[in-house]
Structure 1
Amino acid sequence: MTALIAGSRRGAAPFDVLRLHFSQRALLLRTPPGIMLVVFALTVIIAIIFWRAGSVPGSAEWVQNSRNNAAVFWALPGFLGWLGVQTVSLTFPLALSLGCTRRSFVAGTVITHVALSLYVTAMLLVLLAIELATGHWFFDIYMTDVTILGSGNPFQLALTTFLSTLFVLSIGGAFAAAWVRFGALGPTALGVVLVLALGIVAILLVPLASAFQPWWLVVASTTMIVMSIVGQYVLLRRASVR
């Protein structure tokens, strides 16, 4: 924040906005590992329950069922979505009061979201490396070596984690920008438009379902991320500071 205040005379740069966001580094950096710790504890408990029920650790059935565990993928979006909203709705008025331009704020927020996405990706890659090195936590426990993250493929895990994290943060930021610009009506209208657009796209793509390729998801998520970032700037460009 000191850097942002010092730079208010010349106009704060995007990296000053990054520093402003990371003034809450305890929240940003400690919460994801905390959530992963809870996921790991629950995964261990469930594995022990199945073991006590007669399942054999390491068997083909055990591995298949364990790799269908998507808890690590679905545990973070709630927090990340809230964080995406907070980084825009709560920080925008403060940043502008300290001399930040709207363009610099959006650019700094995007850099923050990218940094957080890289952080979450690095965290899961470290967990995957430990999981594989220990023979799945010494008890055939599958947390990151799961199907939705590439079944132990670090490249696929990294790509999936980075894009999905940045996607949720960007969508959260877009909804927050709609709220800042139009009040409660903004997120509601944006939600309706988003649902209708996704519905139309789904109807158009139904005939192509049999030809589905995983890279379509990469293109779709990247497109949504870019649209969300553009939407943040368009909405915040004329938003009043409250």
Structure 2
Amino acid sequence: MNAVTASGPAPAAPAAPERRVRPGEIWRIIRLHTVNPGVFFIVPWVIMAGAWAISVVLVLIIGAAGAPVEKVTVGMQYSWAVLSPQWYLVVVGVQAIAFTFQFALGFGATRRDYWLGTWLMFLFVSIVNAIAIATLVMIERATDHWWVGAAMFDALWYVGADWITAAYTTFALQLFVLTVGAAATTVYMRWRMPGMLVLGASAAALVLGAIALLTFTESWGAFAEWFAAVGLNGGFTILVVLALAFGVFGYSVIRRATPR
């Protein structure tokens, strides 16, 4: 009798630990989101192009009426036209989860892979749009606002900003709105309408509580000074941090969400 027979069957080799992050599956999720590229890349720029065309036509009309072009340009730098696609990007964040989550789980993706792939897609979209918008800001300045004085991109905080600042602030804002839309959708997918009502009430209570705190403690001046000290890039860095926080929150919710 040999040693193996005497001691019984050899113990089975321990199973290899499951990989927590699967790059191949994450890439599949990214490709899933690009099946309909118009949602991320075409519709926002159609909105942007429409806002640009309206801005140019308005300047031409006002100029034809005899108004000084210089004053029109300065006035348009307070326009929010450059932010016109941001409201749609919140919807994009909602659609990215609502339309693909169930399908992704159906072909074997884990919730971790799905959320990482989705968030990386948001990251990519934010980077591409940031590069494009920052470049358009520079082109608008170089052409003296499209040769007619129409200040659409060179507006709000972009006025006087260099290319890097314009790109970074755009990236931060776009990543924030996409992640907020996606995180809110995870709440709906897990708790449905009661969850959304609680989320909305909690957000309103938080905002009103902050306003009340600043008002009753007479801290609005200190808050303004703090915000000025943080600066433009610092303020948008806060948005990046909030985007990361909402990303973590969304993942914690979607881990237990059941597609229906």
Give TM class, smaller chain: 0.7 to 0.9
Contact kept, 8 Å, 1:88 with 1:173, in 2: the verdict is yes
Aligned match of 2:171 in 162, 174, 179? 162
Counterpart of 1:238 in 2: which secondary structure? coil
Distance, in Å, in 2 between the alignment partners of 1:15 and 1:21 is: 10
Aligned match of 2:82 in 72, 80, 84? 72
Name which of structure 1's ranges 201-210 and 174-183 shifts more when overlaid on structure 2: 201-210
Aligned match of 2:199 in 175, 190, 203? 190
Alignment coverage as a number of residue pairs:
230
Runs of 4+ that moved beyond 4 A? none
Q: Which residue of 2 aligns with 1:224?
A: 242
* Letter matched to residue 43 of structure 1: S
**Residue 13 (structure 1) aligned with residue 25 (structure 2):** yes
The 5-angstrom pairing of residues 39-54 of structure 1 reads 39-54=51-66
Q: Structure 2 unaligned runs (5+)?
A: 1-21
* Letter matched to residue 37 of structure 2: R
**Residue 209 (structure 1) aligned with residue 223 (structure 2):** yes
TM-score by length of 1: 0.87
The 5-angstrom pairing of residues 1-242 of structure 1 reads 13-57=25-69, 59=70, 61-73=71-83, 75-205=84-214, 207=219, 208-211=222-225, 212-213=227-228, 214-215=231-232, 217-242=235-260
Counterpart of 1:76 in 2: which secondary structure? helix
Q: Structure 1, residues 44-83: CA drift from partner, whole Å, max 9, x if none? A: 12112221332222x3x3332121122111x112210111
Distance, in Å, in 2 between the alignment partners of 1:24 and 1:228 is: 25
Name which of structure 1's ranges 206-215 and 91-100 shifts more when overlaid on structure 2: 206-215
Distance 1:224-1:202 versus aligned 2 partners, 3 A rule: farther
TM-score by length of 2: 0.81
Q: Structure 1, residues 168-208: CA drift from partner, whole Å, max 9, x if none? A: 10110011100111112222211221222233334445512
Q: Structure 1 unaligned runs (5+)?
A: 1-9
**Structure number with bigger Rg:** 2
* Letter matched to residue 36 of structure 1: M
Distance, in Å, in 1 between the alignment partners of 2:196 and 2:132 is: 31
Name which of structure 1's ranges 86-95 and 216-225 shifts more when overlaid on structure 2: 216-225
Deviation for aligned residue 1:152? 4.8
Name which of structure 1's ranges 12-21 and 178-187 shifts more when overlaid on structure 2: 12-21
Distance 1:132-1:169 versus aligned 2 partners, 3 A rule: same
Contact kept, 8 Å, 2:60 with 2:148, in 1: the verdict is no
Identity of aligned residues (%): 27
Distance, in Å, in 2 between the alignment partners of 1:12 and 1:177 is: 24
Q: Structure 1, residues 77-116: CA drift from partner, whole Å, max 9, x if none? A: 2210111001111111111111111111111111011111
Deviation for aligned residue 1:148? 2.8
Distance 1:62-1:241 versus aligned 2 partners, 3 A rule: closer
Distance 1:133-1:225 versus aligned 2 partners, 3 A rule: same
Contact kept, 8 Å, 2:183 with 2:249, in 1: the verdict is yes
